[in-house]
Amino acid sequence: MNERDTLLNELAQGFRPMSEGIEWFDGLGQDEQSGVLLFLRHHCVQARAATEDAQEAIRRAGLRLTHTPAVLISRGRIDDQLGKIAGLAPLDERRKAFRLLTAVLAIADARRRERFCSDGCSHWWHKLADA
């Protein structure tokens, strides 16, 4: 667990406002931003993001259906599409990708927590409310 991982999980769980997350993300260099997007993509997959999560994630991220990350997540296998979203290069698209991937993680991890961790678990990020 490091500061980045904690911050991203706090954003996904609603313990920090997205405006704070975007300010932090914008302060990173391009390589660091790419690393964050890949991290989020990986954790979305680990949390078992599903195709059905796409529309709610777009809504939570505040994206229009015509924004590139929204178009991508709405088409094809979600695992593949999350990778494409994480690989977007223009800054404006990376910012949208950050918001969308954080929303996908929030949805998928909440479902995972409800289904598999409701009786307790050892996931450190599920204990952030206790810290």
Do the domain assignments include residue 69? yes
Please give the pLDDT value at position 124. 40
For 11-67, the pLDDT digits (tens) are 988 889 999 999 999 999 999 999 999 999 999 999 999 999 999 999 999 999 999
Of the candidates 1, 3, 10, which has an alpha carbon nearest to the alpha carbon of residue 102? Answer: 10
Identify the burial level of 122 via C-beta atoms within 10 angstroms of its C-beta, where 0-12 means exposed, 13-18 middle and 19 or more buried.
exposed
Do the domain assignments include residue 19? yes
The residue range of the domain holding 27 is 3-111
Q: How many structural domains compose the chain?
A: 1
Do the domain assignments include residue 22? yes
Helices (H) and strands (E) in the chain, counts: 7, 0
Do the domain assignments include residue 23? yes
